[in-house]
Structure 1
Amino acid sequence: MYSQQHPTTPRRLAHVENDKLEANKPVWYFSYGSNLTSETFRAHRGITPLATLPVYIPGWMLVFDVYGLPYSEPAFASISPIPFRDDEEKDVGETPPLVHGTAYLLDPASYISVVASEGGGTAYDEIELLAVSVTDNESNTIGTQPFSVMTLVKGYGPTIGRCPSRRYKDLICVGAKEAELPKTYQTYLDNLPCYDAPQSRWTWRWIGCMLFLAWWSPVMAAAEKLTQATENSDGTGYCPKWVRFTCSLISPIRVAQDMGVFRHLKEHDGTKIEQLADSLGAEECLLVRILRPLLAEGLLVKTEQGVYSLTEHGLIYALPAYEDSCKFAVEFLPVALFNPTFFQQYGYREPRSHDGFDTPLAAYFKKPGYGFFDYLRDHPSVQKLFISAMHAQARTQSILCSVYDYGAQFPPVGDDPSAVAIVDVGGSQGELLLDLRARYPQIKGRMIVLDQKSTLKNLLHSPPDGIELVIHDIFTELPVQGAAVYHLKRILHDWSDHSARIILKHVVSAMDPERSKVLIMDAVLPSADISLSQAMGDHSMLTFGGKERTEEDWRTLLESVGLVIEHIYQGSEPEALIECRKA
């Protein structure tokens, strides 16, 4: 029915005689993700298909297992064979629907452009499948007979499916409606869950997410777009290998932002270069040179008449908050670039604590124990940029682990009104516990949030319904003993193993050895086939003394404080849930 590795991909077609593309024959390309929308495929990619047809792929389903930027665009679409189920398994869960989409008939040059626009071979591989038309329109020359289509699927090792961002999911839903795909499939798309990030500001979990995004969003966006600059460099649509590791657009982006290029084009779409230079008070020859890399990276487009416009990718750089995100990245770049010097001078070992000069940040400023928030306090202008940069990130809702049955797994507390069901350590303003209370009303007992005074001060006199708020320093003894569950979400990755042990030892001391559980929601890095964004996320934490951990790292850390892992639950969200008990 299908071939996992099509023998005539464009990479090979460049060297094979008398094949489809070399014969200049049109190619059917199956689209199932954001390319379903005319805005993405026709307007922004600049591709005009020779024909279109709504189709489905027998035996294949839609998945979201191509990793993107954590906490912003966690995953992008791919397709996968529907797993075979024997008779005993058929009643377990629902079988996903067959993947539907649009088959575009493209000339060879347009098809190669599609390959290039989807990462130039960095994220997807090409395969050939059989497609079936959704309708039996008389004008359709293919009818309902299966026909061959080329498409793109995830091009690297096994990964766990994740939720797409709301923005990305909406693109697919809009495209499905435009393509007039079956209503049942549109409903299925509408009901797909989205990734949701923390909402409350200046909490441990929010800080962890935002710190990563404020630094890496502009850099990773530049690296992603760089692949487009070298499309078809070898005639196949693939980019050179070195491009996959290049992040070099910050400088021209920042200069263009300071000049006001993005803001002006947002308000005056379609401006000639001489008009743009005059409006910005810039020299035209300089402006042309600044805009060249932005054109090459697909942030801008220019007509043959010299009229410039923003693309969908470039529009975000016109937002004031995102301008500040880029400014923050540039301001903080010298500190991050001090990492090599730090390890040369202080030895090639992990930062073990936040004392002395044990982190690159403290050593760079030559201030013992100097932390990130000390840095923001001492640099008000950068702090203002950081706060504004946080506003550039999307806010969403769901924060519980999607595959953990809290109602069934929580240790019972009985009818004692003083018994504590859960303590959320560093739990922000109670969002997770409110969600837990709403989803699992059968859980009895008190629910308590422990967090900093700065986080809770505005809520202490009017706490959320059913939630108790207690001011607490995570490096001190816990004020609540014997709770059924102690919960830590996106807390421990902000700290070195040394500091994390201090936090955990206080939790262990508060536990009831017979019934208390510890639930840790944090990233569990794969031991192999790690994505670039995952790896760089961990690397960025080195500057502040934090750490992202593999399963082995977690086991070592937790066993060192007297905890054993009972199970690790991995849902569609970036964080896994690690369930622990006292050893």
Structure 2
Amino acid sequence: MTRQEEPPKGRRGSLAPHTLYETEAAELTNLSDICKFDCGQTTPQRLWNAKDDCTAHGDDPSAPDTVLYLAYGSNMCAQTFLGMRKIKPLSQMNVCVPSLRLTFSLPGVAYMEPCFANVDYRDAESEMPDGHPDKNWDGRLVGVVYEVTQSDWRNIMRTEGGGASYKEIVVPCIPLSSAAGATLPATFMARTLHAPRTPDHKRPGNCGWWDRLTTGPYRPRDDYAQPSPRYINLLRTGAQEHNLPLAYKEYLDSIQPYTATSTGQKLGKFIFMLLFLPLFILMIRAAALFADENGQIPKGLSTAMTIISNIMWICYDLFLRPVFGDGERTRAMDDAKRDTAHAISEKGRLLDGSQESELHAPMA
């Protein structure tokens, strides 16, 4: 897919439903011992017919009755895909996707899960190396294409935010088959999920307050936030489970996760949870209750989730980060000590101000 084929840039959808499912996953018992991928490779015939996934209509008898879904984030891991989402793939195929690259640009929850996996389009003019990514990897996306039923595809959409967090796109994939003698197509089409960038005219400073609340959530830099250790380990585990190319596994191993290195950051996490966790729980219950048969949630509910997410990040930018420290990126120890000292100083200043007010209060 060339840059010209990129879908129009729209708002980055509400993170709330996706974030909540991921946050709930963090509390689950480790399912790695009981969740194992036991399906075989996708058949060559299904891959050759994959072009119909993009063109056939739902009422066309020739339309495939299964969906080829490209996973690149935590859904590569059995603990998430089989255990949490309860998906039962019929088959699978490791692939690389020259038109996409992995990013962590979907905002999550500050101090806890700062960001989640996303994809972005690569330059169409960039050189594509020949051969297996193990030997010559240039930054292209590597992932797993699962063949799933229509029902499971709707469940994936529902647990990934009901169309509010991610939007469905179709991309060409190159199979990385381990089966000797298999005649596979050079490329085939698969569906995946992508959260578009916030367009320039919808960014803070270029729009009114209503657009600011209903568009986004917006972060100044897509490449700033770091995934939590829990989240990046799901990607690493999935890469191991599927035996993805060594160079790609080394890339995932090199990603620095977010770690709270100061008392202020840990306190900020507690306050953040206290303020916003009840709203998150309410939103995920509402999303599950009102999602339609295709896993999509109503537009009004999606807008409400986006507003709450934006309020959360505005509070973080204006109040929590200046007082408690960075909730998106690991800070050096010296910076962490300064953040802790600042948080203690700010707390002391507030206490002093309160005591001074009491001293100057008029006597009854």
Asked if Structure 1 and Structure 2 have the same fold, meaning a TM-score greater than 0.5 normalized by the shorter chain, the answer is yes
Q: What is the CA deviation profile of residues 80-128 of structure 1, one whole-angstrom value per residue up to 9, with x for unaligned ones? A: 11246889xxxxxxx9621111100122222122111110011101111
Contact 1:197 1:396 in 2 (8 A): no
Structure 1 residue runs of 5 or longer lacking an equivalent are 7-12, 88-94, 248-394, 401-430, 436-446, 456-470, 476-493, 500-583
Amino acid at match of 1:237: G
Q: What is the CA deviation profile of residues 296-316 of structure 1, one whole-angstrom value per residue up to 9, with x for unaligned ones? A: xxxxxxxxxxxxxxxxxxxxx
Instruction: Name the CA distance, whole Å, in 2 between partners of 1:49 and 1:173.
Output: 20
**Which structure has the highest helix share of the two?**
2
**Aligned-pair CA distance for 1:50:** 1.5
Which residue of the partner structure matches residue 277 of structure 2? 217
- Is the radius of gyration larger for structure 1 or structure 2? 1
Instruction: Name the CA distance, whole Å, in 2 between partners of 1:176 and 1:45.
Output: 18
Q: What is the CA deviation profile of residues 15-62 of structure 1, one whole-angstrom value per residue up to 9, with x for unaligned ones? A: 955459x94522211000010011211222121112101111013110
* 1:113 to 1:434, Cα distance in 2 relative to 1, 3 A: closer
Instruction: Name the CA distance, whole Å, in 2 between partners of 1:199 and 1:239.
Output: 39
Which residue of the partner structure matches residue 73 of structure 2? 33
* 1:226 to 1:34, Cα distance in 2 relative to 1, 3 A: farther
Contact 1:61 1:99 in 2 (8 A): yes
Amino acid at match of 2:275: W
Instruction: Name the CA distance, whole Å, in 2 between partners of 1:449 and 1:66.
Output: 28
Amino acid at match of 1:150: R
Amino acid at match of 1:176: A
> Are residues 1:238 and 2:296 paired?
yes
* 1:46 to 1:105, Cα distance in 2 relative to 1, 3 A: same
Amino acid at match of 1:211: I
> Are residues 1:147 and 2:188 paired?
yes
Instruction: Name the CA distance, whole Å, in 1 between partners of 2:156 and 2:72.
Output: 13
**Greater RCO (CA < 8 Å, at least 6 residues apart):** 2
Structure 2 residue runs of 5 or longer lacking an equivalent are 9-53, 128-136, 200-218, 306-326, 354-364
Which residue of the partner structure matches residue 145 of structure 2? 103
Which residue of the partner structure matches residue 46 of structure 1? 86
* 1:217 to 1:61, Cα distance in 2 relative to 1, 3 A: same
Amino acid at match of 1:56: C
* 1:28 to 1:84, Cα distance in 2 relative to 1, 3 A: closer
Q: Secondary structure at the match of 1:180?
A: coil
Which residue of the partner structure matches residue 116 of structure 1? 158
Contact 1:24 1:107 in 2 (8 A): no
**Aligned-pair CA distance for 1:243:** 3.2
Contact 1:24 1:108 in 2 (8 A): no
Contact 1:166 1:194 in 2 (8 A): yes
Give the alignment of 1:274-423 within 5 angstroms.
398-400=330-332
Instruction: Name the CA distance, whole Å, in 1 between partners of 2:276 and 2:255.
Output: 27
CA-atom RMSD in angstroms: 3.8
Instruction: Name the CA distance, whole Å, in 1 between partners of 2:181 and 2:88.
Output: 20
Q: What is the CA deviation profile of residues 196-241 of structure 1, one whole-angstrom value per residue up to 9, with x for unaligned ones? A: 23432xx4x554443222221242244245423333x1x3221112
Contact 1:61 1:96 in 2 (8 A): no
> Are residues 1:175 and 2:206 paired?
no
Contact 2:102 2:119 in 1 (8 A): yes
Which residue of the partner structure matches residue 287 of structure 2? 227
* 1:221 to 1:62, Cα distance in 2 relative to 1, 3 A: farther
Q: Secondary structure at the match of 2:271?
A: helix
Percent identical residues: 24
* 1:221 to 1:34, Cα distance in 2 relative to 1, 3 A: farther
Instruction: Name the CA distance, whole Å, in 1 between partners of 2:190 and 2:339.
Output: 55
Give the alignment of 1:250-265 within 5 angstroms.
none
Instruction: Name the CA distance, whole Å, in 1 between partners of 2:302 and 2:270.
Output: 24
2:107 equivalent among 67, 70, 80: 67
Amino acid at match of 2:6: Q
> Are residues 1:189 and 2:283 paired?
no
